[in-house]
Amino acid sequence: MKTLSDINFKDKKAVIRVDFNVPLDENFKVTDANRIEAAKPTIDKILQEGGSVILMSHLGRPKGVEEKYSLKHIVAKVSEVLGVEVKFVDDCIGAKAEQASADLKPGEVLLLENLRFYKEEEAGDADFAQKLAKLGDVYVNDAFGTAHRAHASTTIIANYFPEDKVFGTLLAKEIESLDKVLKNSEKPVTAVLGGSKVSSKITVIENILDKVDHLIIGGGMTFTFIKAQGGKIGDSICEDDKQELALEILAKAKEKNVQVHIPVDVIAADGFKNDANTQVVDVREIPDGWQGLDAGPKSLENFKKVILESKTILWNGPLGVFEMENFAKGTIALGNFIAEATEKGAFSLVGGGDSVAAVKQFGLEDKMSYVSTGGGAMLEMLEGKTLPGIAAILEA
């Protein structure tokens, strides 16, 4: 795996694909700079070695050129995070971009305009990729969040840097963390999969059954499994057309000696709202008119035992509707169990939009071994897919 340490950046221009697709408020101010901060170690290393940096990213889903999606809005925040005055050019290819790049001196940073102002970016157009490649001497991919897309700036551009293409610090860390779970894990290995739908996690479950000892299933997925086994789930969410699949997953797990842990009790509510009436009920006996919205106390005790005995833990998806305070307790408790196991030496990897949002919201981020920055990309790696953005750097 070629990383930053394989190249001497002195007097070199590094064109870096970053993921600066950050949220902006109505005044175009950045409301969460995490993605910018995540790219800082890569940028710092190149600048410290006497190189210069050309940053390219997308923002939002513009239809052609749209002022509200211009990366000029984030220049001040990027400058603040990097501690360097960032230059900006209002195009990403062509004469203007080439001139701005040519003028760049060692230690300087240039931010290009939104790549997606050109439809060629998402189309993976070779001519567009070649124009981007003209801007630098070395290509660095540090955008895990888009590594599963074969776009011009994430994959195709690498063809124009046969020797000089490397992974940035962030992307290298993502790959190493996933490898730690999927290939080099210390046993026992536990995967916690939550969220509302079995359908979105089927391929993940199928791919990781060979690699885990325990599989904890939580969230809305629970009820498809319970109903498939003949339980009464009241008005709980359920994918009726996936019941057979749920039974197949349980049979496969048994065959592979994977212990599956499903909630035994739930916090049931008489409506999908924070102030609904609640009761703790057996997961197989949820009354009509009631729905399970969080894991119950007995379930959490069972999960705690499994987690604290684990050496490697993957967490993808919440245990309940954590956005509502009254149904967040299960997810918070799970986060605390994983934090405790991590403190005792377990390796914990958290990924997927909702789980990442939960650990951040409840102040658990620093207590996990690694929190992934890419939802869709991480899921695809867990499914066993080779991501085009990663393959492009690995190919000689």
Distances (CA, A) of 9 to 5, 106, 139, 165: 9, 9, 11, 12
284 known ligand binder: no
149 known ligand binder: yes
389 known ligand binder: no
Catalytic residue among 252, 298, 360, 376: 376
Catalytic residue among 2, 87, 96, 197: 197
292 known ligand binder: yes
* Active site annotation includes 376: yes
60 known ligand binder: yes
* Active site annotation includes 63: no
353 known ligand binder: yes
Question: Is 293 in contact with 267 (CB distance < 8 Å)?
Answer: yes
384 known ligand binder: no
257 known ligand binder: no
Catalytic residue among 12, 13, 17, 35: 35
* Active site annotation includes 35: yes
With both helix axes pointing from N to C terminus, report the angle between 75-82 and 34-48 in degrees, rounded to the nearest 10.
60
Question: Is 325 in contact with 292 (CB distance < 8 Å)?
Answer: no
Number of helices (H), then strands (E), belonging to the chain: the values are 14, 17
Task: Give per-residue burial for 289-314: e unless 16+ CB within 10 Å, then b.
Answer: ebbbbbbbeebbebbbebbeebbbbb
Catalytic residue among 353, 360, 384, 385: 353
* Active site annotation includes 124: no
User: In degrees rounded to 5, what are phi and psi of residue 344?
Assistant: -85, 5
21 known ligand binder: yes
Four-point Cα dihedral 326, 329, 335, 337, nearest 10: 180
355 known ligand binder: yes
85 known ligand binder: no
Q: Which residues are annotated as a binding site for substrate?
A: 19-21, 35, 58-61, 116, 149
Q: Which residues are annotated as a binding site for ATP?
A: 201, 292, 323, 352-355
User: Which residues are part of the catalytic machinery?
Assistant: 35, 197, 353, 376
Q: Which residues are annotated as a binding site for (2R)-3-phosphoglycerate?
A: 35, 116, 149
Q: Which residues are annotated as a binding site?
A: 19-21, 35, 58-61, 116, 149, 201, 292, 323, 352-355
